Amino acid sequence: MGTSFRIRGVVIDTRPHKDQDAIITILTPQHGLLSATVPGARKHSSRLASMATPPIVADMVLSDSKGFYYLKEGEAVESFRGLYDSFEALTCASHILEVVKDTAVDPDSSQLLYPLLLYVLYDLSKHPKKYRQIVAAFEWRVMDALGFAFDLNECDCGKPDEMPTRAFSFSRCRLYCANIGCVAKAKEYRFISIGCVEALRYIREAPLERLSAFRAEKYVLDDLCAVTHQYLCERLEKNYDKLSLLDTLPPQ
């Protein structure tokens, strides 16, 4: 094989290759997304099998052979074991990885998404019961990272403080108050609580290590999850439906 080089990255996807191998997708801050073959990854005895089990942060040695990468060595740095104790957390992690795989299309976006992904996966692993607000925070923050920032300023009619709700306009990408004339301008919208607006503003400004460190009543969290997910799906023009599995679970 050709030259070898070392990287640290997050394995975000894997798929079978040939009889015993796997091809993994690795997110790196310097090189964007890389694909590499893991020889023998599907053998139980393989020392590299764990490298083909996303998500995992690992130090890896890749060999470049005629434009194809092969994994020669791999050492786990963080395997997010807490995810495997919660069906909800594992499902949410799968959704997050799908979004990142779709959006880390170049080194610039990868550099922005890499630290966000690490913090969110770690948070989800350590606090699986907070999965709803962690996912909502990720979805909202990733929109800013990709240039789909939503205008969270108040409605410019001059009377929004009198209203207990706001119209979240998906078509105008801004807030409107509940006045009839203002709602008419909103086009496609959903009414959300003031608490939801405050949560959206918090998420936008919070440092990564405090991204989900907010408290929200259930009705606020319901609003938050609904608008962040719909906004993400509409902006990326894809129906991300993995989270729908959680709707089949009995209420807690």
pLDDT in tens, the chain (252 residues): 568 899 999 999 999 888 889 999 999 998 899 999 998 888 877 888 899 999 999 999 999 887 789 999 999 999 999 999 999 999 999 999 999 999 998 889 999 999 999 999 999 999 999 999 999 999 999 999 999 999 999 998 877 777 789 999 999 999 999 888 899 999 999 999 999 999 999 999 999 999 999 999 999 999 999 999 999 999 999 999 999 988 877 665
**CB neighbour list of residue 241: distance below 8 Å, 6 or more residues apart:** none
Say yes or no: do domains 4-78 and 82-153+160-248 share a fold: no
Residue spans of the domains in the chain: they are 4-78, 82-153+160-248
End-to-end CA gap in the chain: 53
* CATH 1.20.1440 is the classification of domain 82-153+160-248: yes
Q: How far apart are CA 228 and CA 32, in angstroms?
A: 25
* CATH 3.30.450.40 is the classification of domain 4-78: no
| CA 47, 121, 210, 236 torsion-angle sign | positive
58 and 36 Cβ atoms separated by less than 8 Å: no
